[in-house]
Amino acid sequence: MSFNIAIDGPAGAGKSTAAKNAAKELGFLYVDTGAMYRTIALYLLRNQVAIEDEDALERALEKISVTLSYENGMQHMFLNGEDVSGLIRTQEVSDMASRSSARPAVRKKLLDLQRDLAAREDVLMDGRDIGTAILPNADLKIFLTASSGERARRRYLELKEKGETASLSEIQKEIEERDYRDTHRETSPLRQAEDAVLLDSSDLNLEEVVERIVSLAKERMQ
């Protein structure tokens, strides 16, 4: 039996970096489900699919194959065989991923891929509905969050480091809008599973978050 860890939480809580590092320390496969939604979003953007049109969306999804591979522990995403890992981190893709992931057909498309991975491997899977919908029987569930102000500050510093100009208040507004969309959508809204451990990272640095995840996992594995 594989050991499954589900980590859910809002945008910018530092989930992906913390999850990646914790997975490495535990020797688990890190599965970034956001990247899967981003891969579909890239196709939808490239082909200008009207995502509100149920039939058009269904037709488009039939033409999409999402696969992944791991190279030195790094997850690579493939869209119909093309490695798109370097193309899915733009603002445009983020926005489309957020909008299209609210469509039930999109979520359904990724369900089996996520469950199959978890059944085969010890995974640390990060997303929005992993503990509530994808892996309801996960061995450990963590809801990782931070205040919207702190999340905005982190994203601001990240952009600044990349040499991009950004407005802190603008970023905070975007984060709050995305939170609203993620928590109010009908299909698989973002919420803490009843049996999830709440981890608020507002006052914790990356190492402290990783340490907490690893120690929770080790406790459960005993």
Is residue 174 a contact point for ligand CDP (CB under 6 A)? Answer: no
Q: Tell me which of 34, 144, 209, 214 binds ligand CDP, using CB under 6 A.
A: 34
- State both tokens at 52: 């509100």
Helix (H) or strand (E) holding 71: strand 66-71
Size of the site for ligand CDP (CB under 6 A): 16
Residue 214 CA to residue 22 CA, distance in Å, equals 6
Residue 104 CA to residue 109 CA, distance in Å, equals 9
Per CB under 6 A, the segment of 9-17, 56-64, 138-146, 207-215 that binds ligand CDP is 9-17
Is residue 143 a contact point for ligand CDP (CB under 6 A)? Answer: no
Q: Tell me which of 21, 101, 172, 201 binds ligand CDP, using CB under 6 A.
A: 101
Is the Cβ of residue 122 or residue 129 nearer to ligand CDP in the bound state? 129
Is the Cβ of residue 180 or residue 221 nearer to ligand CDP in the bound state? 180
CB atoms within 10 A of CB 52: 9
| Minimum distance, C-beta of residue 101 to ligand CDP, in the bound complex (Å) | 3
Closest CA to 122 of 32, 23, 210: 23
Is residue 14 a contact point for ligand CDP (CB under 6 A)? Answer: no
Residue 19 CA to residue 75 CA, distance in Å, equals 13
- State both tokens at 150: 């702190």
> Which residue reads 């990646």 in tokens?
20
Q: Tell me which of 79, 97, 140, 196 binds ligand CDP, using CB under 6 A.
A: 97
Residue 172 CA to residue 161 CA, distance in Å, equals 18
Footprint (CB under 6 A) of ligand CDP, residues 113-132: 127-129
Q: How many CA atoms lie within 13 A of 165 on its CB side?
A: 0
Can you say whether the dihedral through the CA atoms of 187, 80, 7, 3 is positive or negative?
positive
Is the Cβ of residue 130 or residue 214 nearer to ligand CDP in the bound state? 130
| Minimum distance, C-beta of residue 222 to ligand CDP, in the bound complex (Å) | 28
Is the Cβ of residue 149 or residue 218 nearer to ligand CDP in the bound state? 149
Which residues contact ligand CDP (rule: CB under 6 A)? Answer: 11-12, 16, 33-34, 37-38, 94, 97-98, 101, 127-129, 178, 182
